[in-house]
Amino acid sequence: MLREELTQSMKDAMRAKDKRTLSTVRLILAAIKERDIEMRGSDTAELDDDAVITEILAKMVKQRGDSIKAYEEGGRCELAEQERDEIEIIQQFLPKQMDETEIKVACKEVVGELDAEGLKDIGRCMAALKGKYPGQMDFAKASGMIKGMLS
């Protein structure tokens, strides 16, 4: 399970005195804890724990990517490098990312399964992709591919 893997990684980082990994894993665990607290009061059905954690990790990678862009525009290369290091650490816990060819195949598959015919079906297709491949693909790319297939 991903939670245990993260906890073990934190312990290993403490033993190795790896401050960057330790702080990044602590940030991940804090984000997960925050999500747990948010979900506590809601009536939502039981969610797949690993899928939720994968979603959190993917969001964290995206945030850091945005920060890198801002830091580089501001001439703060050392902060951009820190963000790159954090992305590397976070990606260790994410499933293998699909390449462009694999994304295209998955998009064609979903369009076929749902009998999608027009642009109005993009939402359904994207929901199906997010359910099947959480954290495994760049959904912005997938959305563009599906839009191209349906237009």
pLDDT digits over 27-63, tens only? 999 999 998 888 887 655 445 677 788 888 889 999 9
In sequence order, what are the residues at sequence separation of 6 or more whose Cβ sits closer than 8 angstroms to the Cβ of residue 140?
none
Q: Which domain holds residue 141?
A: 100-150
Q: Are residues 53 and 125 in the same domain?
A: no
Neighbour tally for 57: CB within 10 Å: 22
pLDDT number for residue 63: 94
Asked if 80 contacts 113 with a C-beta cutoff of 8 angstroms, the reply is no
Q: Are residues 13 and 86 in the same domain?
A: yes
Model confidence, pTM: 0.71
Cα end-to-end distance, the chain, whole Å: 41
pLDDT digits over 62-98, tens only? 999 999 999 999 999 999 999 999 999 999 998 888 8
Looking up residue 49, the CATH number of its domain turns out to be 1.10.1510.10
Looking up residue 129, the CATH number of its domain turns out to be 1.10.10.410
